[in-house]
């Protein structure tokens, strides 16, 4: 037993986090910045932060991740990091030649009180930022929120750097903030929008950035990502669709404040109901009709569920990860007649429990829902030790529990360090739902084949 | 050299052409995509394999999350090191101090997990808000009755190497606290061996066959008790120059234990290491056993390696690893299987180590300190490398360029140490360099067919 030191009995903790179901803000800021074309993320702090974020993103995407660091020393920590940041900007524009540098802070630079806007304006005044080049920034101290907060803050920072109030409104064109989802999911949202022939700008967009092909060249700036032209045009869209309370609404709110673009909240389109609502909202806002091909995909998904419903009914599930995803996932599992029983997120926020409880109530089921401090995987494991579930869904760190307790395990979320595919196969939209459903069924049916006594082993399922 | 940041010109050399005077041990240039990490990272990787201790990271959540069981250090017993413990500091503690949260965390951990000791790692922010971690640990040690050891690893206070030193100081506090008795057989401590993919087990087995007693391994598959009795050993055998040399020096001073500096990578170095230890004890029985062991292992290995050599002859390799000492072994081992090293570099090599590299490498080899992806990808293309030996951040870069890859860092999945490790190394390189996947790769295809793509 790998986690043999985990006792079954739950004793309340006030101080300690064990096996976290979250990480810190800056990595989210780095991920968001990678979704902007020719943008170079820069970590204002000590070297380790940047190395950890790059390593984690590298392990998850199996792609080279480029980002800079201010390389704080003791001197910088006493006298402030201004000199480091100014020198860094100079070097970055000279050597890496990005169009945009996206600076995020760390706990260190925040605590010593570095004032990024002031340093940036100083750099601008002293000509450190070349003509036609841009800089955006976000405050992302690690001791506030979690990685998803960092993502949302950087999306806001990017919007703040470019959004202009515009007289001109491009009717029927919308902005989409997709939330922290995979490049495959962003590509799937693009595919659905293009099937509808709907006009949109998506920010950020990591497809064609973190799912790049092997070509024999290292593209420092791959072809994907939201372009500067698109960013400058965000204020001209008729509205913004913000997918996810935690990762997208703050950016949409920033755009509303700065450029008067109204926004509508939708869930990340995970599963059938959320995808229905997303497509309706997109159709309504752009005037584009939901295409026949999308309707066919929906029908295929419903067909697949109906074919296999007997294997799904009543199956209990433990899920953990990021709140926007868990809300979508909970609804999808409930739609599949399954029972999400333990729902854990390290990221705090009251709207999460409110949404989950409302969903559980609607479907007449009960769950243990916990997020924020001490909502960690140690606690989840203890819940499972007290009452087992049929399926575990979450990031790679669930593999210890899955092995110890012998539970089928679907990898989903961030980070996935031990499997591939998440960059290419989406979990959003009807296609994504079909893919996820197929994976869930495979797990159940493989287990059934493995465990069935010889006399009841079935060929046809 | 052209196209290098001006701050970096004294960290990149072409062997035989440039006047070699490596400016290393310097902080990275701000803004550079450095492959280096921080002080905390250094301490964390050195101490983490101690499997019956709790490793509590005092700071915001990130530092604990990113270092959760990433190194693949195996344990034959307890698995406490695979957990991630954090005080998960929030804004409130950053303002009012985190000592109370730390105390509460230690009390909970001691009660629930009953570890043999607790290491408390200070992260960047602790150095700024000024928690008195030393005091909290001292008090907790008295109250709880197990060693609660502070690790002064604030991230910004130097490089990863300073983190190794902080870890060594933490271990040094433990050494001498054990109540063991001096072993009868000649005995050693193995330092700087972390049991990645079970490598310590291979090395220990060699010493066992030689008739040498292993008092402790620091820190692969290690236990608090073994470390606390490490002062009873006759000799410290240090691998991985950067990480544990300072501990060996401290132990020499306080406990009069001599040390020797070895590498277990490659045939020559492994054999040299074992002979060195045998020679130290001067015991004829041990020397005889060692000769038998080395002869047997090498005779088994030679034929296998020669086969790989025929297939890999003339292929070119780029080496970019943690310390320069490791690069020496790699240069030798790659030569053994017919490969030529065209780039040799490290994140944190020291001057003495770097000064030996020009003699080991052929003219034209690029020797580099604290490099970055832009430089590395240019060098490998310029020098037309077929293989990259590096760590996690280099892997996808190498792959994108169409190079074979061998992880010689935390993420090795097969043991690369010792004689057995050399066989695995040759095999891993062969698999990667000669993989059929490259035939689908336009650039490599042209190179293989016509060779005119240079």
Residue A449 lies in a domain: yes
Residue A9's pLDDT is 94
Which of A96, A129, A145 is a domain's end point?
Answer: A145
CA–CA gap between residue A96 and residue A358 (Å, rounded): 49
- Taking the CA of residue A42 and the nearest CA in chain B, the distance in Å comes to 7
Per mean pLDDT, which range of A330-344, B68-82, B277-291, B344-358 is the poorest?
Answer: B344-358
Q: What is the largest CA-CA distance in chain A?
A: 81
Q: Based on the domain organization, do A231 and A298 belong to the same domain? A: no
Residue A7 lies in a domain: no
User: Is the torsion defined by CA of B373, B378, B379, B384 positive or negative?
Assistant: positive
Residue B451's pLDDT is 39
- Confidence band for B370, pLDDT divided at 50, 70 and 90: confident
Residue B450's pLDDT is 42
Cβ of A88 and B91 within 8 Å? no
CA–CA gap between residue A342 and residue B28 (Å, rounded): 45
Residues 6+ apart with CB under 8 A from B289: B209, B210, B211, B278
Per mean pLDDT, which range of A440-444, B333-337, B344-348 is the poorest?
Answer: B344-348
Residue B453's pLDDT is 35
Which residue from A19, A58, A96 is facing B396, i.e. has the nearest CB? A58
A82: contact with B, CB 8 A cutoff: no
Q: Which of residues 13-52 of B touch A (CB under 8 A)?
A: 27-41
CATH assignment at residue A234? 3.40.50.1980
For B110, phi then psi, to 5°, come to -60, -40
Residue of A nearest to B102 (CA): A15
Q: Based on the domain organization, do A329 and A416 belong to the same domain? A: yes
- Averaged over A338-362, what is the pLDDT? 98
User: With pLDDT > 90 as the criterion, what percentage of chain B qualifies?
Assistant: 71
- Domains, chain B, ordered by start: 39-174 (3.40.50.1980), 187-292 (3.40.50.1980), 313-412 (3.40.50.1980)
Which residue from A5, A63, A96 is facing B396, i.e. has the nearest CB? A63
Task: Sort out which chain B residues have CB atoms less than 8 A from A4's CB and list them.
Answer: 79
**Token pair of B339, please?**
């490969």
Which residue from B83, B123, B373 is facing A66, i.e. has the nearest CB? B373
Q: Which of residues 6-35 of A touch B (CB under 8 A)?
A: 7, 11, 13-20, 22-27
Cβ of B87 and A15 within 8 Å? yes
Strand partners, B53: B117
Q: Which of residues 396-415 of B touch A (CB under 8 A)?
A: 396-397, 399-402
A112: contact with B, CB 8 A cutoff: yes
Interface test with B, best of A15, A41, A321, A382 (most B CBs within 10 A): A15
Q: Based on the domain organization, do A183 and A124 belong to the same domain? A: no
User: With pLDDT > 70 as the criterion, what percentage of chain B qualifies?
Assistant: 96
**Token pair of B429, please?**
């390189």
The yes-or-no verdict on residue B373 having pLDDT over 90 is no
Q: Based on the domain organization, do A97 and A238 belong to the same domain? A: no
Structural domain harbouring A241 = 170-268
Interface test with A, best of B25, B30, B58 (most A CBs within 10 A): B30
Specify whether the CB–CB gap between A197 and A288 falls below 8 A: yes
Residue A164 lies in a domain: no
Q: pLDDT tens digits for B18-37? A: 777 888 777 777 887 877 78
Q: Based on the domain organization, do A439 and A297 belong to the same domain? A: yes
- Averaged over B345-358, what is the pLDDT? 83
Q: Based on the domain organization, do A203 and A325 belong to the same domain? A: no
- Confidence band for A390, pLDDT divided at 50, 70 and 90: very high
Residue A407 lies in a domain: yes
The yes-or-no verdict on residue A95 having pLDDT over 70 is yes
Compute the count of residue pairs across chains A and B with CB atoms less than 8 Å apart.
250
Cβ of B393 and A77 within 8 Å? no
Q: Is A258 left (phi over 0), alpha (psi -120 to 50) or beta?
A: alpha
- Confidence band for A346, pLDDT divided at 50, 70 and 90: very high
Residue A85 lies in a domain: yes
ipTM at complex level: 0.96
Give the count of domains, chain A: 3
Round the average pLDDT of chain B to a whole number and report it: 91
- Confidence band for B452, pLDDT divided at 50, 70 and 90: very low
Task: Sort out which chain A residues have CB atoms less than 8 A from B27's CB and list them.
Answer: 71, 73
A75: contact with B, CB 8 A cutoff: no
Cβ of B88 and A17 within 8 Å? yes
Interface test with B, best of A14, A27, A66, A107 (most B CBs within 10 A): A107
B309: contact with A, CB 8 A cutoff: no
Q: pLDDT tens digits for B271-290? A: 999 999 999 999 999 999 99
Encode chain A in three state secondary structure: CCCCCCCCCCCCCCCCEECCCCCCHHHHHHHHHHCECCEEEEEECCHHHHHHHHHHHHHHHCCCCCCEECCCCHHHHHHCCHHHHHHHHHHHHHHHCCCEEEEEECHHHHHCCCCHHHHHHHHHHCCCCCCCCEEEEECCCCCCCCHHHHHHHHHHHHHHHHCCCCCCCEEEEEEEECCCCCHHHHHHHHHHHHHCCCEEEECCCCCCCCCCCCCCCCCCCCCCCECHHHHHHHHHEEEEEEECCCCCHHHHHHHHHHHCCCEEEECCCEHHHHHHHHHHHHHHHHCCCCCHHHHHHHHHHHHHHHHHHHHHCCCEEEEECCHHHHHHHHHHHHHCCCEEEEEEECCCCHHHHHHHHHHHHHCCCCCEEEECCCCCHHHHHHHHHHCCCCEEEECHHHHHHHHHHCCCEEECCCCCCCCCCCCCCCCEHHHHHHHHHHHHHHHHHHHHHHHCCHHHCCCCC
Residue B446's pLDDT is 57
CA–CA gap between residue A461 and residue A459 (Å, rounded): 6
Encode chain B in three state secondary structure: CCCCCHHHHHHEEECCCCCCCCCCCCCCCCCCCCCCCCHHHHHHHHHCCECCEEEEEECCHHHHHHCCCCCCECCCCCCHHHCCEECCCCHHHHHHCCHHHHHHHHHHHHHHHCCCEEEEEECHHHHHHCCCHHHHHHHHHHHHCCEEEEECCCCCCCCHHHHHHHHHHHHHHHCCCCCCCCCCCCEEEEEEECCECCHHHHHHHHHHHHCCEEEEEEECCECHHHHHCHHHCCEEEECCHHHHHHHHHHHHHHHCCCEEECCCCCHHHHHHHHHHHHHHHCCHHHHHHHHHHHHHHHHHHHHHHHHHHHHHCCCEEEEEECCHHHHHHHHHHHHHCCCEEEEEEECCCCHHHHHHHHHHCCCCCEEEECCCHHHHHHHHHHCCCCEEEECCCCHHHHHHCCCEEEECCCCCCCCCCHHHHHHHHHHHHHHHHCCHHHHHCHHHHHHHHCCCCC
Q: Based on the domain organization, do A346 and A446 belong to the same domain? A: yes
Q: CB under 8 Å, gap of 24 or more: what pairs does B419-423 form? A: B419/B267, B419/B270, B419/B297, B419/B298, B419/B300, B419/B301, B420/B202, B421/B199, B421/B202, B421/B264, B421/B265, B421/B270, B422/B265, B422/B266, B422/B267, B422/B270, B422/B301, B422/B305, B422/B333, B422/B336, B423/B301, B423/B304, B423/B305
Q: Based on the domain organization, do A248 and A321 belong to the same domain? A: no
**Token pair of A220, please?**
């420092």
Residue B454's pLDDT is 35
Q: Based on the domain organization, do A355 and A321 belong to the same domain? A: yes
Residue A41 lies in a domain: yes
The yes-or-no verdict on residue B355 having pLDDT over 90 is no
B432: contact with A, CB 8 A cutoff: no
Which residue from A20, A62, A68 is facing B396, i.e. has the nearest CB? A62
Per mean pLDDT, which range of A12-16, A221-225, B166-170 is the poorest?
Answer: A12-16
Residue of B nearest to A46 (CA): B156
- Averaged over B316-338, what is the pLDDT? 89
CA–CA gap between residue B340 and residue B331 (Å, rounded): 8
Cis peptide before B219 (omega within 30 of 0): yes
Residue A242 lies in a domain: yes
Cβ of A400 and B82 within 8 Å? yes
Residue A275 lies in a domain: no
Q: Based on the domain organization, do A308 and A418 belong to the same domain? A: yes
For B151, phi then psi, to 5°, come to -115, 115
B348: contact with A, CB 8 A cutoff: no
- Averaged over A149-176, what is the pLDDT? 95
Residue B329's pLDDT is 87
Residue B11's pLDDT is 85
The yes-or-no verdict on residue B448 having pLDDT over 80 is no
Q: Based on the domain organization, do A333 and A240 belong to the same domain? A: no
Q: pLDDT tens digits for B385-421? A: 999 999 887 888 898 888 999 988 877 889 999 999 9
CA–CA gap between residue A268 and residue A255 (Å, rounded): 19
CA–CA gap between residue A290 and residue A187 (Å, rounded): 18
Task: Sort out which chain A residues have CB atoms less than 8 A from B373's CB and list them.
Answer: 64, 66, 218, 220
- Averaged over A272-284, what is the pLDDT? 98
Residue of B nearest to A71 (CA): B30
A232: contact with B, CB 8 A cutoff: no
Cβ of A111 and B94 within 8 Å? yes
- Averaged over A429-437, what is the pLDDT? 98
Q: Based on the domain organization, do A220 and A91 belong to the same domain? A: no
User: With pLDDT > 70 as the criterion, what percentage of chain A qualifies?
Assistant: 100
């Amino acid at each position: 037993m790998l986690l043999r030191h985990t006792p079954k009995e739950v004793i309340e903790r006030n101080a300690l986090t064990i096996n976290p179901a979250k990480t810190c803000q800056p990595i989210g800021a780095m991920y968001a910045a990678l979704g902007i074309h020719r943008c170079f993320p820069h970590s204002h702090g000590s070297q380790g932060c940047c190395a950890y974020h790059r390593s984690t993103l590298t392990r998850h995407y199996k792609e080279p991740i480029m980002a800079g660091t201010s390389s704080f020393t003791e001197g910088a920590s006493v006298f402030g990091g201004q000199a480091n940041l100014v020198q860094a900007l100079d070097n970055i524009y000279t050597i890496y030649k990005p169009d945009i540098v996206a600076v995020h802070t760390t706990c260190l630079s925040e605590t010593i009180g570095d004032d990024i806007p002031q340093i940036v304006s100083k750099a601008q005044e002293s000509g450190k930022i070349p003509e036609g080049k841009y800089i955006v920034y976000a405050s992302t101290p690690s001791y506030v929120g979690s990685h998803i907060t960092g993502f949302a803050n950087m999306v806001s920072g990017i919007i703040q750097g470019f959004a202009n109030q515009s007289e001109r409104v491009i009717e029927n064109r919308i902005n989409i903030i997709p939330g922290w989802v995979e490049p495959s999911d962003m590509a799937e949202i693009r595919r659905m929008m293009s099937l509808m022939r709907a006009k949109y700008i998506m920010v950020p967009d990591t497809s064609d950035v973190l799912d790049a092909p092997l070509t024999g060249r290292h593209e420092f700036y791959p072809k994907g990502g939201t372009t500067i032209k698109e960013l400058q045009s965000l204020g001209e869209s008729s509205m913004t669709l913000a997918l996810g309370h935690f990762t997208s609404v703050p950016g949409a709110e920033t755009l509303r404040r700065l450029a008067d673009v109204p926004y509508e909240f939708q869930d990340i389109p995970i599963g059938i109901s959320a995808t229905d609502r997303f497509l309706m909202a997109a159709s309504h806002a752009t005037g584009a009709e939901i295409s026949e091909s999308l309707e066919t995909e929906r029908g295929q998904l419903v067909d697949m569920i109906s074919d296999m419903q007997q294997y799904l009914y009543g199956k209990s599930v433990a899920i953990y990860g990021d709140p926007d995803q868990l809300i979508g996932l909970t609804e999808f599992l409930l739609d599949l007649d399954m029972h999400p029983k333990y729902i854990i997120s390290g990221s705090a926020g009251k709207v999460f429990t409110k949404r989950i409880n409302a969903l559980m109530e609607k479907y007449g089921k009960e769950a243990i829902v916990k997020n924020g401090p001490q909502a960690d995987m140690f606690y989840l494991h203890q819940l499972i030790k007290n009452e087992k579930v049929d399926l575990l869904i979450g990031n790679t760190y669930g593999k210890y529990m899955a092995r110890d307790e012998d539970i089928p395990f679907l990898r989903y979320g961030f980070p996935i360090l031990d499997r591939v595919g998440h960059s290419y196969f989406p979990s959003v939209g009807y296609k994504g739902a079909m893919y996820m459903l197929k994976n869930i069924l495979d797990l159940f049916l493989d287990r059934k084949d493995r465990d069935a006594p010889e006399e009841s082993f079935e060929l046809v399922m | 050299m052209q196209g290098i940041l001006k701050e970096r010109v004294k960290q990149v050399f072409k062997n035989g052409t440039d006047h070699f005077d490596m400016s290393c041990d310097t902080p990275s240039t701000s803004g550079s995509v450095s492959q280096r990490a921080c002080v905390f990272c250094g301490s964390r990787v050195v101490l983490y394999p101690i499997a019956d201790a709790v490793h509590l990271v005092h700071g915001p959540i990130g530092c604990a999350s990113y270092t959760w069981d990433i190194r693949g250090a195996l344990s034959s017993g307890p698995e406490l090191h695979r957990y991630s413990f954090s005080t998960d500091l929030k804004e409130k503690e950053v303002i009012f101090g985190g000592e109370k949260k730390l105390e509460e965390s230690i009390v909970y951990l001691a009660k629930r997990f009953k570890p043999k000791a607790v290491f408390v790692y200070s992260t960047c922010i602790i150095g700024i808000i000024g928690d008195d971690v030393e005091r909290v640990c001292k008090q907790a040690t008295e109250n709880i009755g197990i060693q609660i050891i502070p690790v002064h690893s604030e991230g910004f206070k130097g490089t990863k190497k300073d983190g190794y030193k902080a870890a060594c100081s933490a271990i040094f506090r433990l050494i001498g606290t054990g109540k063991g008795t001096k072993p009868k057989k000649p005995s050693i401590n193995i330092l700087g061996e972390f049991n990645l993919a079970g490598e310590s087990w291979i090395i220990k087995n060699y010493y066992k066959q030689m008739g040498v007693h292993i008092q402790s391994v620091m820190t692969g598959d290690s236990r608090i008790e073994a470390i606390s009795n490490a002062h009873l050993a006759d000799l410290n055998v240090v691998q991985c120059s950067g990480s544990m040399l300072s501990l060996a020096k401290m132990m020499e001073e306080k406990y009069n234990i001599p040390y020797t500096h070895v590498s277990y990578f490659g045939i020559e170095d492994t054999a040299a290491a074992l002979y060195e230890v045998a020679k130290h004890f001067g015991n004829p029985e041990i020397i005889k056993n060692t000769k038998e062991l080395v002869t047997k292992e090498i005779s088994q290995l030679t034929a296998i390696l020669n086969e790989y050599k025929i297939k890999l002859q003339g292929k070119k390799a780029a080496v970019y690893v943690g310390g320069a000492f490791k690069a020496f072994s790699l240069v030798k081992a790659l030569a053994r299987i017919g490969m030529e090293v065209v780039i040799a570099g490290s994140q944190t090599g020291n001057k003495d180590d770097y000064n030996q590299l020009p003699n080991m490498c052929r003219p034209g080899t690029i020797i580099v300190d604290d490099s970055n992806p832009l430089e590395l990808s240019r060098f490998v293309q310029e020098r037309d490398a077929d293989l990259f030996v590096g760590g996690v951040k280099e892997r996808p870069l190498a792959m994108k360029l169409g190079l074979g890859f061998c992880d010689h860092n935390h993420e090795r999945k097969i043991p690369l140490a010792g004689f057995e490790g050399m066989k695995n190394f040759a095999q891993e390189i062969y698999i990667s360099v000669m993989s059929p996947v490259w035939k689908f790769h336009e650039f490599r295809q042209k190179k293989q067919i016509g060779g005119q793509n240079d």
